[in-house]
């Protein structure tokens, strides 16, 4: 077959090697995302082994266990924390992103938002413990200034979990908001005012519709990982802030009921994925660079579950 | 009285008075004691180079900036205390500022929806205004699917549907290519004729301003240098800047030698004695600037025979002939080194005379009536 030389180099043409370029990431996704997911799905339908692991006897016991009211309580708690922390994060992130986009010192502000990423996530949680702990900086300060006679218990409650979650995921919300607001043409607000809109009306009718993609991305980037939070409630939370992520970890490591852990992971993955798809459909726009792929933001819970699945093949 | 359509009756223009407006940004004086009176229904242009303050003035009229001092009156009422949404003024923005998330229809309907007008009224009126700008077929498109000229027309329809008494246009054609600019200019003019409200048009393009305006205010460095009809601005520039900024010109300095009536004899370095017209002749001995437009100079190979009083004749050599079809431009150097620009129209064959080429010795002649004394320096 003859090929015209002019067409051979055309991007996306019949002879485009695009598929070849995608091969490494396809391999990566298959091995590190799809395969663990398949293992989780499979394990959730099996019988728990005596010391962890599974026995190859199919059963629906794991899904029956989910019907347990204690599971519902943890789920409810997780929803409350996730909605609360996401709401607070968004309330801080929207004005922050707006201010950054309008500021003349964008680079500096952008640096300030990104600096926390230079320190390990766990170390930053321990830093909060050092600040909020019974003998932490804040209590030292309160006692030294006479504002408190004995140390106040800031840690190990839902408030501490929310605070640290907001702190952790704030940059993930600020960055997409900043980048959309930065692209927004502010003369549109003047046009709206000119056409008779009040200040608030201009923001509602022109600014918000034009940055809704950024708002949605920010929401997904915070809500999904917070919904699957594990380390934060483990380290700064108490009995009132036990979340689904902790439940999975405990089922996996303490109760050694791997099928149940797998089933809970799947429920989280299913619920968040469906939520994302519904949001995307309601929004009518593709959020993540036009791909419309709702699976991109990897929830911490499913990655924790994937971690668990990987551990199966390991020495533990 | 019958005007034809219903629109003309409902829309009325306002007169706009700008009094002693001052505005600075830090050390930069954007507007320095600007006063302009604009009549009802006038097509008025603010013309000047970038940074002259014309856009700042427009933004003050729209309500996006407030001046440090001065007043802006619409039909005699001070509007400076009113927010942009409280003024009966609408703007066509330089970059169109169309709402990207809304269709053409919804962009035009925007102000009516804010007023909560009934749906049937919105439909009818938006259709009317889309027809005015000939965009009926594109109502459902998003702004990103339109060409520059179409976007411009949406912006105009969107601003006009509110039935403002004054329409502000901020360099509305600057983003269009030259051909389309000409076309849109004619369209703007005809829309102005149909609607009949006051148009205030900001531009840095003197051709645009000359061709559509009833009157023009020429601005530079925050000041208004001259206000007048296009003819007045072109034929009788008030300052050297106006003479140079509007069209092409020859501008020289000279000393006044004698005065008789409105005719003034000047001694010009490199030319000898030149006779010009001045409505208010300065005293003998003054230093002045004077101008002669290139198209008002006749160029020929022979010395002009007419020794009629008031004809100036200068000889020189063609330095650079530039042929551009309908006309030729010549840069002619006098023996003492002054350069004059001359434009010769190629009207018809019988009028042409012998061809003038590079290095030809030529004679230039122009009437004292066409030479104009601009500024008295001292």
What ipTM goes with this model? 0.81
For residue A238, name the pLDDT band (cuts at 50, 70, 90): confident
How far is A207 from chain B, CA to nearest CA, in Å?
Answer: 10
How far is A286 from chain B, CA to nearest CA, in Å?
Answer: 14
Q: Does the pLDDT of residue A247 top 70, yes or no?
A: yes
Chain B environment of A205 (Cβ under 8 Å) = 110, 114
Give the closest residue to A208 by CA, choosing from A286, A283, A291, A296.
Answer: A283
Burial category of A273 from C-beta neighbours within 10 Å (exposed 0-12, middle 13-18, buried 19 and up): middle
How far is A279 from chain B, CA to nearest CA, in Å?
Answer: 18
For residue B3, name the pLDDT band (cuts at 50, 70, 90): very low
Residue identified by tokens 């020495």 is: A315
Q: Does the pLDDT of residue B351 top 80, yes or no?
A: no
Interface test with A, best of B55, B92, B110, B175 (most A CBs within 10 A): B110
Q: Does the pLDDT of residue A250 top 50, yes or no?
A: yes
The per-residue DSSP string of A226-263 comes to: HHT--HHHHHH--GGG--HHHHHHHHHHTS--HHHHHH
What pLDDT, on a 0 to 100 scale, did the predictor assign at position A52? 81
What pLDDT, on a 0 to 100 scale, did the predictor assign at position A306? 37
- Strand B198-203 relative to strand B43-47: parallel, antiparallel, unpaired? parallel
Residue identified by tokens 């010395």 is: B303
What pLDDT, on a 0 to 100 scale, did the predictor assign at position B120? 95
Residue identified by tokens 């039909």 is: B75
Q: How far apart are CA A286 and CA A215, in angstroms?
A: 13
Angle, vertex CA B164, rays to CA B158 and CA B169, nearest 5: 65
Lowest mean pLDDT across A96-110, A272-286, B277-291: A272-286
Nearest to A210 among B62, B85, B101 (CB): B101
Give the closest residue to B21 by CA, choosing from B36, B10, B4.
Answer: B36
Q: What is the pLDDT of residues B245-290, one digit of tens each?
A: 998 899 999 999 999 888 899 998 888 889 998 888 899 999 999 9
Q: What share of chain A is helix, strand, coil (3-state, %, to 5)?
A: 70, 0, 25
Burial category of A65 from C-beta neighbours within 10 Å (exposed 0-12, middle 13-18, buried 19 and up): middle
The model's pTM: 0.77
State the average pLDDT over residues A124-143. Answer: 91
Mean pLDDT of chain B: 89
The per-residue DSSP string of B6-72 comes to: SHHHH-----EEEEEEEEEETTEEEEEEEEEEE-TT-EEEEE--TTSSHHHHHHHHHTSS--SEEEE
HSE toward the beta carbon, residue A197, CA cutoff 13 A = 20
Q: How far apart are CA A175 and CA A100, in angstroms?
A: 10
Q: What is the architecture of the domain spanning A51-285+294-315? A: Orthogonal Bundle (1.10)
State the average pLDDT over residues A37-52. Answer: 90
A284 touches chain B (CB under 8 A): no
Tell me whether residues B99 and A190 touch, CB distance under 8 A.
no
How do the domains of chain A map onto residue ranges? 51-285+294-315
**Share of residues in chain B with pLDDT > 90 (%):** 64
For residue A68, name the pLDDT band (cuts at 50, 70, 90): confident
Distance from chain centroid for Cα A281 = 20
Which of residues A288 and B276 earns the better pLDDT score? Answer: B276
* B62, closest residue in chain A (CA to CA): A194
Q: How far apart are CA B32 and CA B20, in angstroms?
A: 8
């Amino acid at each position: 077959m003859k090929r015209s030389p002019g067409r051979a180099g055309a991007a996306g043409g019949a002879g485009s090697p695009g598929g070849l370029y995608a091969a490494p990431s396809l391999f990566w996704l298959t091995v590190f995302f799809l395969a663990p997911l398949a293992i989780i799905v499979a394990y959730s339908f099996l019988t728990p082994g005596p010391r962890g692991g599974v026995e190859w006897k199919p059963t629906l016991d794991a899904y029956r266990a989910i019907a347990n009211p204690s599971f519902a309580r943890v789920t409810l708690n997780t929803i409350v924390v996730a909605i609360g922390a996401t709401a607070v994060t968004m309330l801080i992130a929207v004005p922050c992103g707006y201010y950054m986009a309008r500021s003349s010192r964008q680079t500096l502000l952008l640096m300030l938002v990104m600096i926390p990423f230079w320190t390990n996530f766990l170390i930053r949680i321990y830093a909060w413990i050092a600040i909020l702990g019974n003998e932490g900086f804040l209590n030292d300060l309160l006692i030294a200034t006479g504002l408190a006679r004995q140390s106040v218990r800031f840690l190990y409650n839902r408030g501490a979990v929310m605070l640290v979650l907001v702190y952790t995921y704030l940059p993930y919300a600020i960055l997409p908001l900043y980048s959309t607001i930065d692209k927004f043409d502010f003369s549109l607000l003047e046009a709206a005012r000119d056409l008779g809109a009040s200040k608030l009306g201009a923001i509602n009718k022109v600014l918000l519709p034009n940055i809704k993609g950024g708002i949605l991305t920010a929401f997904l980037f915070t809500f999904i990982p917070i919904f699957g939070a594990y380390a934060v409630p483990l380290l700064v939370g108490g009995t009132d802030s036990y979340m689904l992520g902790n439940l999975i970890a405990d089922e996996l490591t303490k109760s050694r009921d791997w099928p149940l852990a797998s089933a809970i992971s799947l429920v989280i993955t299913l619920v968040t994925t469906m939520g994302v798809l519904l949001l995307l459909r309601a929004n009518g726009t593709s959020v993540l660079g036009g791909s419309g792929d709702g699976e991109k933001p990897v929830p911490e819970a499913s990655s924790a579950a994937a971690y668990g699945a990987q551990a199966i093949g390991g020495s533990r | 009285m019958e005007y034809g359509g219903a629109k003309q009756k409902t829309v009325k223009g306002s007169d706009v008075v700008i009094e002693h407006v001052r505005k600075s940004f830090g050390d930069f004086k954007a507007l320095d004691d600007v006063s302009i009176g604009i009549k009802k229904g006038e097509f008025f242009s603010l013309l000047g180079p970038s940074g002259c303050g014309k856009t700042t003035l427009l933004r003050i009229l729209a309500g996006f900036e407030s001046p440090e001092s001065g007043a802006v009156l619409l039909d005699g009422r001070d509007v400076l205390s009113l927010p942009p949404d409280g003024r009966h003024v609408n703007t066509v923005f330089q970059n169109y500022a169309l709402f990207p998330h809304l269709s053409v229809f919804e962009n035009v309907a925007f102000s009516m929806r804010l007023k909560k007008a009934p749906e049937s009224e919105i439909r009818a009126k938006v259709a009317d205004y889309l027809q005015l700008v000939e965009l009926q077929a594109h109502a459902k498109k998003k702004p990103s699917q339109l060409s520059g000229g179409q976007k411009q027309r949406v912006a105009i329809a969107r601003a006009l549907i509110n039935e403002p008494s004054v329409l502000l246009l901020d360099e509305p054609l600057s983003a269009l290519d030259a051909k389309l600019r000409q076309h849109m200019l004619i369209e703007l003019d005809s829309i102005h004729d149909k609607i009949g409200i006051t148009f205030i048009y900001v531009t840095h393009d003197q051709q645009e301003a000359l061709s559509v305006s009833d009157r023009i205010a020429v601005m530079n460095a925050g000041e208004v240098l001259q206000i007048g009809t296009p003819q007045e601005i072109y034929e009788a520039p008030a300052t050297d800047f106006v003479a140079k900024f509007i069209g092409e010109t020859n501008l020289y300095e000279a000393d006044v030698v004698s005065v008789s009536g409105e005719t003034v004899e000047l001694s010009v370095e490199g030319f000898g004695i030149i006779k010009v017209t001045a409505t208010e002749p300065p005293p003998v001995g003054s230093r002045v600037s004077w101008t002669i437009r290139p198209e008002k100079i006749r160029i020929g190979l022979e010395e002009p025979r007419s020794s009629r009083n008031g004809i100036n004749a200068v000889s020189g050599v063609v330095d650079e002939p530039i042929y551009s079809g309908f006309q030729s431009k010549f840069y002619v150097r006098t023996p003492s080194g002054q350069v004059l620009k001359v434009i010769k129209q190629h009207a018809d064959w019988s009028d042409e005379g012998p061809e003038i080429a590079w290095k030809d010795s030529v004679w230039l002649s122009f009437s004292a009536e066409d030479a104009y004394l601009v500024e008295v320096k001292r």
